[in-house]
Structure 1
Amino acid sequence: MKKDRIFKKTKRLFALFTCFLMIVTNCMVSFAADTIKASNTPVEDYGILTSVKITTDSEGKNEVVNGQKVHIYGSVYVNYTWKLNGHTSGDIVTFDLPDSLSAGSKAISFYLYAPDGVTKVGLVEVPKDSNHATVTFLDDPDKDGDYLKDHTGITGTMQFAAVWKSGIETGKKEITFVYDTTSKSYNIDIYNDQGDDAPILENINKWGFYYNDDGNKYVSWEVDINSALKSNVDFSKGTFTEQLGPGQKLIEDSIKIVRRYWDSSSSSYKFERLRMDGKDYPAFTQYIKSFTMTRDANNNATGFYIEFVDGPINGEFMFGFDSVTLDGVKLGPTEYTNYAKFTKNDSEVYEVNVNSIDRSGRGDAVGYMTNVKLKKIDEANHSALAGAEFKLVKGTTEDGEIVRDHLITDTNGEIKINSLSEGTYSLVETKAPIGYKLDTTPQTFEIDYNKADSNRNLYIDLFMTNALLDNSIQITKNYEESDEKLEEEDLAEFTIFREDGTVVGKMNRTGNVYTYKNIVAGSYYIEETKVPATYVKAEKLYFIVNPDRSIQITYAGTSATNVTQGSQYDVSAIIENKIHRGRITLVKHEFKNRDKELQGAIFKLQKKELGTYVDVEGKTNLITDKNGKIVVEDLLPGEYQFIETKAPEGYLLDKTPIVFQIGPNSYEVVTYKSNRKKLVPKVKGSKELNPNIKETKTTKTTSQLKAATTGNKVTAPKTMDNVNTSVWIVLFVFSSGCLCLLRKKKKI
């Protein structure tokens, strides 16, 4: 019993321990999953960018044109449009600006805002001196649920005020921007005027940009004096005045002064540091006599004043410094002012007053986006059509401003267009699917959130049909001339078959022309399925229909002529119907003896025309050969007869016509004709008078018989050898009958 209790307790403890392990394991798995979700890996994705342009102004209006000159120290504004590309909170994507551009000496950082202008949906960052941008998508903690997941169509703009990368050479450059699945290039002439011919503007240049850092807004300013390095610019006894505009405080430790000059010994530019990070370098006193800070009533530094030494000084002097903006003194959305003046020899004065630019960048959105789906189908059977190409334009006409181009239907016949803002759009077909007619009728639709809130972030479904391109194959039937006129019901019929013998359909006939239209892609042949009586069946005509609906004849045979390609979609041919000609074979043989063919019989051939037999030209002297045959070929259908004009030697002439028919049921005719031997009179010493009685060795000729009857006494035969026995029998029977009748009358 005690052992049983111990066993049961052990069993319970083991079960509890197993449950504990399962709970701990689940917690660890959940924690690991949360950890993985929270540490998303950056992924390069140009798909969030939908368009790009570079401008010379922050408002994005003055786009740079090919060949335009841009100063090497100037800024260009990179203006992207962006969209959510299926992203959710925590996703990190990256893309690069062109290698020739960078953020400059200060990092760029700004938010992407949702259409309400308040909700932050993304953070854009570009490190200083870099062109590599990172976008981290956010989920606003003040909003319920996953804001990005519920608003998949958000789109907007992002702008970078970029500078040319340090060390870039002047001259013509091709600047290429990659976005979405394409790219766009600008040809820009980067210049930096140097030497005595440079414009006077190069005596003093100034620019500034502001940026955000640690929750504060700063402005970075730079001033160049004699950036053209004119040899006649002498700084001796010159002065330089720098004065910030309102709302700023100069950061004293940020002031840096550098001199650039041309070193003829090394044929290169050299740089001298005069002041950097609040520290003066030895060269400072070599060129600058005095340096004085200017301050406001609150002792805030607002500028400085410099006096150059009396000795000759040349080269370029570059000044750089930062200011921090003061709360409540922001002059408009992007601008702060700065004034600079350079005085030379107490007489020449050059001054400039500039506004800062926003180099921190900015991003915004234009509204909830709607997604549109177009399905392209066959007009007749509604099957999906791939390969149709469209452009999306604003407005209701095909020549509206292009929003998207080269949109191609997929294998499901669909085009999906994401992230469209409010407005009126039209989809215009620019290229039809293979084998179909182009339909440029604009497919217009409207997105208006005030009218239909339900179409936010949903698909608008559009359908469009295409009709097949017309194609046709045509046959013209020519009949060889004949005495027999064909009636309508006797004319030929043609049928189209697939390569495997499946019937497609009978060709339509108009007169002697046969046509079949709108044939789908495949391999076919045309067969004459009804042949007029007395005519030869035409050969099959083979052809193919390509996927684009064009037709090509692959084999026409000898029956077809004048095969022409009216266009790639219309083909015609002429098919000649030859009359079916026949052949007659006449076999001449001895009477009751077909094994004995008779050579030398002469015949003429006649054809019945209009009820009368007339001689066939060239066929009036036909002679049987050694085999007793006459063969006549190439006879047109009709009724014919042979007439014997000369018997074989030793045989009786037989003028009985031998009538035969060529066509429509028989074109190979064989006929037999026999001849009897001539009767030969019997003379003394001759055994027979009939050629059908076996001859003896002493048979005489006809001339010998005549001589015997005229000049000599004829010996009567002992028997009736010289008269046919059957004749004598008939006479005997007839005489006996007459005698019987006479006797009967006498008794009466």
Structure 2
Amino acid sequence: MTLDENIVLALGTDYTVDYVTNPETGQQELTVNFLKEIDRAFFITYRTKVLLEEGSEQKVSNEVIIKGNNEEEVEGGDNQELGVIVNDGGGTVVGKRGSILLEKDSATTHNPLAGAVFQLYDSNGVSLGAPVTTGSDGQVLFKELVYGNYILKELKAPDGYNLDSALKQGITITVNAESSQTGKIQHLQNDPVQVTLAKEDENGDPLAGAVFTLEIKQGENWKPIREETELKTGEDGHLTVEALEEGTYRFTEIQAPDGYVLNTQPIEFTLVKNADGVIPALTLDPVVNYQGGLEITKTDANGRPLAGAVFKLTKDNVTVIEGLTTEKDGTAKANGLAPGVYELVETSAPEGYTLDSTPVRFEIEARAAGAPAPVAIYLVNQKEKPTEVTVKVPPDAQSPGQTPGKAVEKSPGTGLQGPGGIGTSLLLLVAAGIILWRRTKPKEKR
């Protein structure tokens, strides 16, 4: 049989190669799959790097299995074990075999991370085995490696984490006696994808105690995530969520800070990888919690604004504001009101108007989409009626023709008037004085 070296099969077109190394045992397996019908003989040539310790005879085994499937299954192979002696390794390190245990952790929580995929290369950049993936303990163990330097690359970061830029390019790791010690771990970290929400009041001051839910969009629906974790703003007003994957999300407030109106507007955001395959940290625009407001408008019966009306505002029988006074435009405003039921009472009316002390109840709603509108209250004061004075004339002081006991009324600016006009009024007053004088005159002694 003669080999025709001009005919070379193309990888991916004529065949595929799968190279797997068991990281626990170091056992390696190379599988070549032909993609087309085999109608002639083929030579398969490959090389194996043998890792042996210096100065001792060791056994190296090589097993070849060939399987085919046509009209009948054909199976055959070659299994041969050879004795090999290493006479000169060129130094104390060469030929020694060891291991290295790697653990992938979060850069913020330092918890182990599953799902990181690594590829190991020799110092010349030749891949050693197939990629390996960290388990739930975040660890991968490379065994049966000759002492020396290797290149480690991270092919895929754990979900919700970004590839480390150095690991993406490849870092050098060293296998030696120290790395091979039991319990010796080399830690590798990934930065999580971080999204930060800031809560503040209308003045820009941070608000603690706001609680949120987090959902991810799936098609046209929203699916809750992180339900086991309380998503609550801290003393700095910040809430940071880590380890989110690409996608569209939304925060929804379910509990407002004490004394504030719950803001029902969802906060939606989207995470995407940039050209480097990294999801940058995202800080959302500040989300404001508001308090309620009150606006009083005071007018007369004709709609003219009235200044000087004074009010007291209470909540749960506790005075919140006292001395709230209307301005020239007839309005008085109060802000910073916590949700709840309030009572407004007028304590002093504008000059020349009647006091209306009837309590007015209103409520600051606990929920609003954004900034709530102030509660508007319109109140009217009536003008005071003129004061009326009634004077009754004694029966024996009646003028002729006057009805006994008839009242004499006083109107502003006109003096006392009776049926007989001013003269009659004066006469009545004089008569009353005479009667009083006569009643108080002392008796003469006889």
Alignment TM-score, normalising by the size of structure 2 = 0.49
Higher helix share: 1
